[in-house]
Amino acid sequence: MASEIVTTPPTADNARIEQIVSFPDNMLLIELIGPHGVNLAKIEQLLGVAISHRGNEFSITGEGADVTRTAETLSTLYERLEQGKQVESGDVDAAIRLGRSAVGTEPQPGDQVEMFPGAGDRVQLRTRKKIVEPRTQTQKAYVQQLMEHELVFGLGPAGTGKTYLAVAAAMQYFLDGDVDRIILSRPAVEAGERLGFLPGDMKEKVDPYMQPLYDALNDFMPAKQVEKLIEDKRIEIAPLAFMRGRTLSNAFVILDEAQNATTMQMKMFLTRLGENSRMAINGDMSQIDLQRGVTSGLVEAERVLRGVKGIGFTHFTSADVVRHKLVQRIIEAYDRDPAT
């Protein structure tokens, strides 16, 4: 059960206010503050407040709305620690971005702060290694669509968590016994003549294209278990061209980098969907590597399938980037440049 967090009414100081928030467990506060105060420093930078702490009390000074958001952020992170979870840099970002708007409750100055109300509204994906939680509202909407629809498109720039969340969802479905296997695929855009000149067997030729999918799997399950499941063909990682002629039943199927699929490849892949299967198709329209004049199958699929019952679309933006802050700024800079 969540411990009570007591706050004092804010006091005015010119245009700024001060609010005191206290937490009951001093041991958890060491992790909340972070090494050398890194978590508090990040909150101060992002929300424009000043935070000082003594014992189990935090004094927050700043403009009213920023102080309220800071108290909310601290309480959200504190509950993560009460649940036995870690607080990392990305979790601080998520707490600031989602806040209580995720459950439709905004605290008022002077109120007692209730931690994470409406627990049923939280979205979590359980994997063998960790619990994965969305870090933006769009990520939350995407995960909800993966749970509600048999076919979901995740569209948007790099670094927004499309692949990571889709693989996490596939892992939960697999571990819960809702599907028998996970199938991960990407177009190998060099898979024509050039692939034949690469050394090694077919697996060694295509593995470089599949590495991001291996990375995600290894983040959710011990590497030896991943290897065994791949050996048993309960997890398949293969180029898009290998999907032709198959019916993918009782599986969670993910097509990554779908912007590099041609229209014919996309139609072929979509029609592989079998009984008791789910399919996630992710891509970034701004990173199409197809030859000039070749239409992206992802572009066509969005145009043709939008509005079809049972298909979900989630559009990510630079605001959903959860990698380094510079990634978000780089994407925004390219979006502003008319020449790119």
Can you name the residues that pair with 182 across neighbouring β-strands? 235, 252
The whole-angstrom separation of Cα 310 and Cα 133 is 24
Q: Identify the pLDDT of residue 206.
A: 67
Q: Dump pLDDT digits (tens) for 186-205.
A: 887 644 434 555 555 556 66
Residues 6+ apart with CB under 8 A from 29: 23, 53, 56, 78
Interatomic CA distance for residues 85 and 330, integer angstroms: 31
Highest averaged pLDDT of the listed ranges 99-108, 182-191, 201-210: 182-191
Say if CB 310 and CB 297 are below 8 A apart: no
Judging by DSSP bridges, how do beta strands 11-13 and 151-155 pair with one another?
unpaired
| Residue with token string 């927050």 | 60
d(C-alpha 324, C-alpha 175), whole Å = 31
Question: With contact defined as beta carbons under 8 Å apart, do 318 and 157 qualify?
Answer: yes
In 3D, which of 323, 128, 321 has the Cα closest to residue 332?
Answer: 321
* Domains parsed from the chain with CATH numbers: 6-121 (3.30.1370.10), 125-336 (3.40.50.300)
The number of C-alpha atoms within 13 Å of 30 and in the hemisphere containing its C-beta is 2
pLDDT at 8: 58
pLDDT the model gives residue 2 = 43
Scanning the chain, the segments in alpha helix (DSSP H) are 26-33, 38-47, 64-82, 89-98, 137-148, 162-175, 193-196, 202-220, 223-231, 263-270, 297-305, 325-336
Instruction: Determine the Cα–Cα distance for residues 16 and 49; give it in Å rounded to an integer.
Output: 10
Q: pLDDT tens digits for 10-28?
A: 555 546 788 888 888 888 8
* Predicted confidence (pLDDT) per residue in 114-153, tens digit: 333 233 456 788 888 888 888 888 999 999 999 999 999 9
pLDDT tens across 259-275, in order? 999 999 999 999 999 99
